[in-house]
Amino acid sequence: MLPLGVALCTWMFLCIRVFYLWRCSAIGKLDYQLNEEIRDKEVRVISDRGEQLGIMSAADAQRIANEQDLDLVKISPNATPPVCKIMDYGKFRFEQLKKEKEARKNQHVVDVKEIRMSPNIDTNDFNVKVRSAMKFLKDGNRVKVTVRFRGREMAHTDLGQKLLKDFGEACTELSNMEKAPKLDGRNMMMFLAPKAAK
């Protein structure tokens, strides 16, 4: 059994560690060392207004940050000496996460939509598939067009190739052929990419 002092210190250390982990998960991914984690002998300090406060010990910088009720954050660990800034870290992370969310919202993810046909497709069905492909291309997505051969249809792969070329020609207004028709097992595939906006 541990002495009471050692047990109390261990318990306090675990409580501090749990609080630290909770704080990091609440703020988001922790990219920077802050406050007591900074153990460098000397750091270059920048105030919350962007003014250079000079080179000083990490303890002095932490004391200045505590007096202003702010955090000391190491923003450039590879510099000599490392650069630390006095700031409200919670506010900083909130703004950073907001910017990242905004950037993700404005980002368009290009999907690959697939259209499947058989070599003996009817004209009306073919036109419906072309209209679907045009819609996908207008949305900025790539289109994978597949012709599946069953049984004896494998003897007439030239029909599938002609069908894919006709499909590509029907979509030339909105697309470029990214990959020409190619046989892969029982499937013949072709990829269409949307034309770049002028």
What is the structure's pLDDT at 5?
61
Higher pLDDT, residue 3 or 189: 189
Mean pLDDT of 13-18: 56
Q: Where are the beta strands (DSSP E) in the chain?
A: 33-34, 42-46, 52-57, 71-76, 83-87, 112-117, 142-148, 175-184, 187-194
Sequence-separated (6 or more) residues with CB below 8 Å from residue 74: 32, 33, 34, 37, 38, 40, 43, 82, 83, 84
What is the structure's pLDDT at 28?
43
Contact criterion met (CB below 8 Å) for 30 and 20: no
What is the DSSP-derived secondary structure letter of residue 94?
H
Domains and CATH numbers, the chain: 29-104 (3.10.20.80), 112-194 (3.30.110.10)
Mean pLDDT of 173-184: 85
Mean pLDDT of 130-158: 88
Partnered with residue 84 across adjacent β-strands are: 45, 74
Q: Are strands 42-46 and 83-87 parallel, antiparallel or unpaired?
A: parallel
Q: At what angle do helices 123-138 and 157-170 cross, to 10 degrees?
A: 50
- 94-98 contacts: CB < 8 A, separation 24 or more? 96/28, 97/28
- pLDDT band at 33, cuts 50/70/90? confident
Mean pLDDT of 58-74: 87
Mean pLDDT of 99-127: 83
Mean pLDDT of 105-114: 76
- pLDDT band at 128, cuts 50/70/90? very high
Contact criterion met (CB below 8 Å) for 177 and 190: yes
Predicted confidence (pLDDT) at residue 74 exceeds the cutoff of 60 = yes
pLDDT tens per residue across span 81-97 = 888 888 888 888 888 88
Mean pLDDT of 54-63: 87
What is the structure's pLDDT at 17?
54
Predicted confidence (pLDDT) at residue 165 exceeds the cutoff of 50 = yes
